[in-house]
Amino acid sequence: MSNFDLSVIIDNLPFLWQGLQLSLFLTLLAIIGGIILGTFLALMRLSGIAPLSLAAAGYVNLIRSVPLILVIFWFYFLVPLALGRPIGGFYSALIAFVMFEAAYYSEIIRAGIQSVRKGQVQAGQATGLSYWQIQRYIVLPQAFRNMIPILVTQGIILFQDTSLVFVVSLRDFMTVSSIVARTEGRLAEMYVFAAIVYFVICFAGSLFVRHLQKAKTT
Amino acid sequence: MNYNWNWGVLFEEEYLSWLISGVGWTFAVALVAWVLALAIGVLIGVGRTLPSKPIAIICTTYVELFRNVPLLVQLFLWYFVMPEVLPDDLGRWMKRDMPNPEYVTAVIGLGLYTASRIAEQVRAGILAVGHGLTSAAYANGFSTAQTYRYVLLPISFRLIVPPMTSEFLTIFKNSSLALTIGLLELTAQSQQIAEYTFQGFEAFTAATVIYVIIALGATIIAQVLEKYTKIPGFVGKG
């Protein structure tokens, strides 16, 4: 520990920054995709139409029972097979994350939709709005406002989860840190540095969530 | 989609014994880490609610530290960095002579990480009991220890049974991360079978089905447990 060498980090900063950018980009796209797909799953589940709600419930419960790493392996194997040609690792990972996180987002969004009072929906129906108009203009805007802190928390978890693309060697921040650690023979420096970077980003995110929660209650 | 199905591969040797051994390691990691996580998580969670400021700060720091660093990074820190940081003799022993280093590291890493999540549930449970009962206990002349022992803990432990069930399931899923330090648990074994046989569909299906069975089993146990631990009148508050 006495010879903790910071120069290895400084020398490799551009490479590490590329990895961090990929992690953040993957997180952002997976959040957007996960929320969109999750909203549809939640609407399916609450639609009152048995085949739709059963299919959505089955999907959500299946995904929530298996580890993310297994889901990543699944899509790395399935996506090229289904398309008949190899696509980049990034897209396979992105699809895996969207499909996986959508299950978790849909549970959050379902609770959010149920938190909107029934009278609101009835008022919409009384005004002659269609199902989609009620969802679009009345239920979802209110639901999402209530959910913002939890959605951000899930986003922080998702950011941590992106480190798992390490198992398929996609060059995110974690994989890049590990490449530097091995080629330079500086495991201690690199993994401690990676931990600090993840901690700073995630802790800042959780402080932001606390701020949002306070803003909501006052 | 061109694919040659061969479900029989799952029942051929050695692949069948790979799967079985994978399930064994998954259980071995998850269950032992769970015991560790429960013990530490309860202590930390209780600590955060204590009137003593220094203890509360230490416990809060623990939770923030372990929650805000990805589990994968934590496992690497325990596995690759710990032996370097420790005194030379101990570090050398960890690298060369410690039996089953992947397993021990996975249990410690997963256990300490899950402890931070359990601590949050325990804290939430204690806070959910409410001020009224705590004040009543103090008014009756209970000490802090007695208040926890006879009022707060018995109620809060029963309140947090449902969220703890989902933590129990999560520890099984998170045990798959042990493959990153070379432990051949269930997910790793299915990946290995996929690589050896090119029967990815069958291999991953087998692992998926086993994880689903574990989840179903845990859910059934949870429902029984919830039925016996539910506190009438507290329902819906916890």
What value does the mean pLDDT take over residues B41-45?
Answer: 96
B180–A194 CB contact, under 8 Å: no
With 0-12 / 13-18 / 19 or more C-beta atoms within 10 angstroms meaning exposed / middle / buried, residue A57 is: middle
pLDDT at B229: 87
Of A62, A66, A203, the CB nearest to B173: A66
Binned at pLDDT 50, 70 and 90, residue B6 comes out as: confident
Q: Which chain B residue has the Cα nearest residue A204?
A: B68
- Of A65, A163, A194, nearest to B215 by CB-CB distance is A65
Mutate to test the interface with A, among B77, B166, B187, B220 (most CBs of A within 10 A): B187
Question: In chain A, whose CA is at the least distance from the CA of B200?
Answer: A77
Q: Provide mean pLDDT across the span B113-127.
A: 95
Angstrom distance (rounded) from CA B227 to CA B215: 18
C-alpha distances in Å from residue B180, one per residue of A119, A203, B75, B80, B121: 51, 25, 8, 12, 28
The pLDDT assigned to A67 comes to 96
CB < 8 Å to A1, chain B: 84-85
**Chain B residue whose CA is closest to A4:** B85
Nearest to B204 by CA among B2, B55, B10, B8: B10
Domain B9-229 bears CATH identifier 3.40.50.20: no
Q: Structural domain boundaries of chain B? A: 9-229
Q: Are B6 and B202 in contact (CB under 8 A)?
A: yes
Asked whether the beta carbons of B203 and B194 are under 8 A apart, the reply is yes
When pLDDT is cut at 50, 70 and 90, the band that residue B1 belongs to is low
How would you classify residue B105: left for phi > 0, otherwise alpha for psi between -120 and 50, otherwise beta?
alpha
Q: Do A66 and B3 make contact, defined as CB atoms within 8 angstroms?
A: no
B176 contacts chain A (CB < 8 A): yes
Domains in chain A, CATH or no CATH each: 21-170 (1.10.3720.10)
Q: How far apart are CA B49 and CA B122, in angstroms?
A: 9
d(C-alpha B116, C-alpha B74), whole Å: 13
Residues B201, B3: contact at Cβ < 8 Å? yes
Residue B235 scores a pLDDT above 60: no
Q: What is the per-residue pLDDT for B238?
A: 38
Asked if pLDDT for residue B236 goes beyond 60, the answer is no
Chain CA centroid to CA A138, Å: 26
Mean pLDDT for B203-212 is 94
The residues, ordered by sequence, that sit 6+ positions from A13 with a Cβ below 8 Å of its Cβ are none
What is the distance in angstroms between the Cα of A188 and the nearest Cα belonging to chain B?
5
Q: CB distance from B68 to chain A under 8 Å?
A: yes
Predicted local confidence at residue A2, as pLDDT: 52
Between CA A172 and CA A94 the distance in angstroms is 12
pLDDT band, residue B12 (cuts 50/70/90) = confident
pLDDT in tens, B187-207: 999 999 998 988 888 999 999
Q: Which of A191, A208, A210 best tests the B interface by mutation, with the highest count of B CBs <10 A?
A: A191
Mean pLDDT, residues B89-95 taken together: 82
Structure tokens at A199: 């901690």
Q: Which long-range contacts (CB under 8 A, 24 or more apart) does A116-123 make?
A: A116/A142, A116/A143, A116/A146
Tokens 């050398």 identify what position?
B92
- pLDDT mean over B78-82: 91
Give how far Cα B102 sits from Cα of A20, B40, B161, Å. 28, 21, 31
Angstrom distance (rounded) from CA A216 to CA A212: 6
Closest-approach residue (CA) in chain B for A201: B68
Cα–Cα nearest to B10, from B167, B209, B226: B209
pTM of structure: 0.91
CA distance A31 to A49: 27
Q: Point out the residue among A166, A194, A202 whose CB comes nearest to the CB of B180.
A: A166
Enumerate the residues of chain A whose CB falls inside 8 A of the CB of residue B91.
none
Residue B237: pLDDT band with limits 50, 70, 90: very low
Task: Confirm or reject contact between B204 and chain A (CB < 8 A).
Answer: yes
* Confidence band, pLDDT 50/70/90 cuts, at residue B8: confident
pLDDT one digit per residue (tens) for chain A, 218 residues: 456 778 888 888 999 999 999 999 999 999 999 999 999 999 999 988 999 999 999 999 999 999 999 999 999 888 888 888 877 789 999 999 999 999 999 999 999 999 898 899 999 999 999 999 999 999 999 999 889 999 999 999 999 999 999 998 899 999 999 999 999 888 888 999 999 999 999 999 999 999 998 887 76
Asked if B5 is an interface residue toward chain A (Cβ–Cβ < 8 A), one would say no
